Chain A
Amino acid sequence: MPEEKLDLLQGTLDLMVLQTLAAIGTQHGYGIARRIEQVSGHEVLLNQGTIYASLVRLQQRGWIDAAWGTSDNNRKAKFYSITRRGRKRLVEDAAYWQRLSAVMGRVLAMQPEGGE
């Protein structure tokens, strides 16, 4: 058995999608999913289908826009792009995540006391 893949925490997928769109610009759902898989080094457990719940949620909040268009290889697809409000939100959430992960890092680096 290979190493088990990471389960996504609630809300992390939304942040990944936002960041992906901010980084690569306009993209369709498949592209976004592929990009997250690549960047994560295939470490996260992601059924590509689950991305659509995340996309509709972000869209309803007004953080991303969507429009049908045509892909490079001439397929009809729905393309998503991050909005200004989405960018603002991304900055906030990213900062939060970084703080949290720093704290988690420090806490987990704690050594047993009096062992030296």
Chain B
Amino acid sequence: MPDLLRQSWNRMRAFFHKAPLDHDLDAEMASHLDLAIDENLRSGLSPEEARRQALVRFGGVQQAREQQRAARGLPFLDVLAQDLRFALRTMRRDLGFSIVAVLMLGLGIGANVAAFSVVNTILLRPLPMANSDRLVWIAPPPQKCGLSCATYSADAYDEFKAQSRSYQDITGYMAFSTPDNLRLTGRGEPVPVTGIEVMANFFQTLGVQPMLGRLFTPADARHGSHPVVLLQHAYWKRQFAADPAIVGKEIDLNGSPATVVGVLPASFDFGAVFSPGARIDLLSAEVLDDERQWGNIVTLIGRLKPGVTLAQAQADANLVVPHLCWSEKYPQSCGSYAGKDGGGMELRTLKNYVSGRIRRSLELLWGAVGLILLIVCVNMSNLLLARSAARGKEFAMRSALGAQRGRIVRQLLTESLLLSAGGAALGLAIAWAVTFYLTRAGSIALPLLSSIRLDGAAMGWTLLVTLATAFLFGLMPGLKMASGSLQETLKDSGAGSGKGLRHGKIRAALVISEVALACVLVVGAGLLLRSFLRVLDVDLGFAPDHAASIKVDYDDSAPTNEASVAKRAEIFGQVIARVSALPGVEAAGIVDFLPLEQNRAWGAPTPQGKIFPEGALPSPLVYVCSPGYFRAMGMRVHGRGFTWDDNLKSQEVVLINAAAARTYWPGEDAVGKVLMSGKEQMHVIGVVDDVHASSVEDERGWQIYYSALQKGPSSAQLVIRSKVPPASMAGSVLRALRELNPNQPAAEFQPIRTIVDRAVSPRRFFVLLVGIFAALGLTLAALGIYGVIAYGVTQQTQEIGIRIALGASRARVQLGVLGKTFSLVVVGLIAGTLASLATARLMASMLFGTQPTDALTYVAMAAVLLVVALTAGYLPAWRASRINPIIALRSN
């Protein structure tokens, strides 16, 4: 419809050219009247009568003008502009109020937008891969034997892939990589690099396209093929200065050349998805044929065929699993994946694997910021109500002059929208700062954290929250004000009138709900804090303070095992001797896997002379370590630790942990007993206290320690214990290592405390956030209480003045005001405690060693709230007691 289009266009133009159009209209109407008067004069009327008649026939001039304006322009926008102008003027007049309001709204909205960005990135947005909802994580159900029981062997992978019918493709990656497992040489001093081996079809299956170059091909994963790597986007930028011609170049990794075949897009960060909190620099092609004898090493991910559901895939897997063999060469290993009751494989969506564990925490976070916003709304309602008392007459006057009720509500909503918009602007700035911090906080072990940003969805959410907030806090006072009886308001002289009383009740209800909301927040934060303190109190089995570790580069390759062990013994001996000699070092030792980082298990040994049913003995986690390690790590040993004589020439010795000892020899001392691994005898020389190997919060499993002079370690983590702060040792330790081995890269020298901190970082993160929110909620509630009580005192100035004049003591006046505060808070506390008991049950799964009904938390919450509330109430009470009765009585 071109006509309508033309009209809309003209209306828009008219909206922006009001003055000339109005001028034109006025001229036209004047000419109209002149023409009418001329005609009336011609018909013989007197000049006055001619003019009067002309005006009567014309009708209201102003009315005609308004009609024409409405017809030609955009009346809706005109009203809006008018309301906005008026609202701005009101805000400027009441600057203090506006600043407080915008600040509060900004905090509330900012917290909400920031929390939404986190929730959106981790929970709501699909993973950064094509059709990621078709990807499934394929793993055995959780067991106590760590990563080795969560992975599959190369043979099992091939077999599973061949027999399963549910997948377009199945891929996987090498689960046993440690940070800084490679070193980049040939570019100045050696630089540590973290690389992970992935199967050749990894990115094709995940649906990730390279930004530069190509992905891996099956040829890259063949035995003996030239090593190739794909770079992570961030690493490419950091290490290679985003060199656009990097593809095809050779880099030296661990002394041998590898070709860079491509660069991954910035959107896909392997570490952020699969190993939160750890940085992954590059990916290489996994040669499965070289790893057939390595046991369980790969983690599997499958892409479902179109139309296949997770349940169907699970049923399919249940059929296939009993046929899987650990190694095709050992028929007795077939069926070992089936598990005891057939549940040997558990499928879940990749999304669920990545973010399932923290879903609850994030939902809690979201709930907490929702509560904050509610408190902000309640506070704003309160502030606006207080103002409405002051502005009641203004609006009564306006409606007496003909303003419609809808128009007044609209005006008030415009004002609250404007305040909200100010709050949203501030909130966005806050949220931006928070997300900026989070994307760079690499030490928080939460998945996908690095890809958090304020995107379109977050903007949409901001808009939604802003509008909802404005509506929530603006509508109630608006309706209230518009509905008040005109005459009453105009007559109302302020203090002590009926309306004041009714308002008082609403305001009391608002304060009570505010206190109750703050209760829920404080209890939630309190319970989480208690849990966190409990987690920090956990006996880890080692002493994380005053210890640090660094990855040591060594080369023990030799033609025979004996030669290799001898070489290793020499290197380790030198390293430990040299480092131990450094001033401040108390003990030093080497282990292949640190607790709370990587781990692995070998087969389950059996105690000599005892018969356990098949599968009753779990596989202990295996650690290969040098003499000195237990002391360096601060682990408690009963019996003896390893010595340099525990080598190939002596009998094979092991240490086991207390939990394993209890299982193997219940009620007996394990030291001196013998474990059988096949036909091999292993003499138990000591029992080590249980160590939290994979998580601070999980139960401890079985652990076994081998001598590095009898078994081959996977890598070497040098652990030192020092009298001085370990971080200050970094330089001297690295120098010592470099003197022994010029190839030693500048690997991270990390205090053991850092490892523990990283392990508890998600909990710390949530405690910190919820704690901040609780403090915020508490502050807002205190502000609200203060506002209401102070307003009440102002309203009752006269009454208080009379009471003082009649001899009431100042203390009594103060007590009266405080008593009122107290009664409001107590009611709020009761409501809040009930609400907290209900919500605390929802977070039971997130608590550690703490009951949802933890009495101490509730008592502390009540005490804190009471103190805060009474403090907030004290100021007005003090002011009330200072009222001068003479001035108070005269002022009205």
The interface of chain A, by Cβ under 8 A from chain B, is 28-31, 33-34, 47-50, 52-54, 56-57, 59-63, 71, 73, 75-78, 85, 89
Contacts and interface: CB of A to CB of B under 8 A. Distances in A.
Given A60-B6, A60-B7, A62-B3, A48 B32 contact: yes
B28 interface: yes
Interface in B610-624: none
B632 to A, nearest CB: 87
B28 A78 contact: yes
Interface of B: 3-4, 6-7, 10-11, 14, 24-25, 27-29, 31-32, 34-36, 38-39, 57-61, 63-64, 67-68, 70-72
B70 to A, nearest CB: 7
A8 B61 CA distance: 19
Contacts of A59: 10
Contacts of A48: 32, 36, 57-59
A28 B71 contact: no
Given A47-B58, A49-B63, A61-B3, A56 B35 contact: no
Nearest to B72: A56
A54 B70 CA distance: 11
Given A56-B71, A57-B72, A62-B3, A49 B31 contact: no
User: Which among A33, A53, A71, A75 has the greatest number of chain B C-beta atoms within 10 A?
Assistant: A53
Contact of B70 (A30, A53, A63, A76): A53
Nearest to B32: A30
Given A48-B57, A48-B58, A49-B60, A77 B67 contact: no
A71 to B, nearest CB: 7
The main secondary structure of chain A at its interface with chain B is helix
A30 B64 contact: no
Contact of B38 (A29, A54, A73): A73
A49 B6 contact: no
Given A52-B28, A53-B72, A59-B10, 5 more contacts: A29-B28, A48-B36, A52-B67, A60-B6, A77-B35
Contacts of B34: 75
A56 B36 CA distance: 20
B64 to A, nearest CB: 3
User: Which among B6, B14, B29, B57 has the greatest number of chain A C-beta atoms within 10 A?
Assistant: B57
A53 B73 CA distance: 11
B36 A30 contact: yes
B7 A77 contact: no
B67 to A, nearest CB: 4
Contacts of B72: 53, 56-57, 60
Nearest to A62: B6
B65 to A, nearest CB: 8
B57 A75 contact: no
B7 A29 contact: no
Contacts of A49: 29, 58-61, 63-64, 67
B3 A47 contact: no
Contacts of A30: 31-32, 35-36
A28 B31 contact: yes
B11 A60 contact: yes
B20 to A, nearest CB: 13
6 contacts: A30-B35, A49-B59, A49-B64, A49-B67, A61-B4, A85-B3
B38 A52 contact: no
A83 B34 CA distance: 27
Given A30-B32, A60-B11, A78-B31, A52 B64 contact: yes
Contacts of B14: 60
B765 to A, nearest CB: 60
A71 B11 CA distance: 29
A92 B35 CA distance: 33
Nearest to B73: A56
B3 A52 contact: no
A75 B38 CA distance: 10
Contacts of A34: 39
A83 B29 CA distance: 23
A47 to B, nearest CB: 3
B64 A53 contact: yes
Contacts of A77: 28, 31-32, 35
Contacts of A28: 31-32, 35
A57 B59 contact: no
Nearest to B11: A60
B69 to A, nearest CB: 9
A27 to B, nearest CB: 11
A7 to B, nearest CB: 14
A33 B70 CA distance: 20
B59 A50 contact: yes
Nearest to A76: B31
B64 A50 contact: yes
A50 B69 CA distance: 11
Contacts of A85: 3
Contacts of A76: 27, 31
Contact of B35 (A47, A57, A60, A75): A75
A9 B465 CA distance: 44
A47 B57 CA distance: 6
A53 B68 contact: yes
Contacts of A54: 71
A45 to B, nearest CB: 10
A33 to B, nearest CB: 8
B648 to A, nearest CB: 100
Contacts of B36: 30, 48
B6 to A, nearest CB: 5
B601 to A, nearest CB: 82
Nearest to A85: B3
Contact of B32 (A29, A53, A56, A61): A29
B64 A47 contact: yes
* Closest 8 A/B residue pairs (Cβ): A47-B59, A49-B64, A60-B10, A53-B71, A53-B67, A30-B35, A56-B72, A49-B59
B462 to A, nearest CB: 37
Nearest to A49: B64
A29 B25 CA distance: 11
A63 to B, nearest CB: 8
A59 B3 CA distance: 10
A28 B31 CA distance: 10
Contacts of A89: 3
A61 B25 contact: no
A77 B67 CA distance: 20
Nearest to A57: B71
Given A60-B10, A71-B35, A77-B35, A52 B29 contact: yes
B292 to A, nearest CB: 82
A61 B6 contact: yes
Given A47-B58, A48-B57, A49-B63, A56 B31 contact: no
User: Which among A34, A52, A61, A63 has the greatest number of chain B C-beta atoms within 10 A?
Assistant: A52
Contacts of B25: 52
A30 B31 CA distance: 9
A78 B35 CA distance: 12
Contacts of A53: 64, 67-68, 70-72
Nearest to A47: B59
Contacts of B27: 76, 78
User: Which among A52, A56, A62 has the greatest number of chain B C-beta atoms within 10 A?
Assistant: A56
A43 to B, nearest CB: 15
A52 B67 CA distance: 8
A54 B59 CA distance: 15
A85 to B, nearest CB: 8
Nearest to B38: A73
Nearest to B2: A62
A22 B38 CA distance: 25
A111 B765 CA distance: 84
A29 B28 CA distance: 8
Contacts of A73: 38
A78 B38 CA distance: 16
Contacts of B67: 49-50, 52-53
Contacts of B59: 47-50
A98 B118 CA distance: 65
Contacts of A33: 32
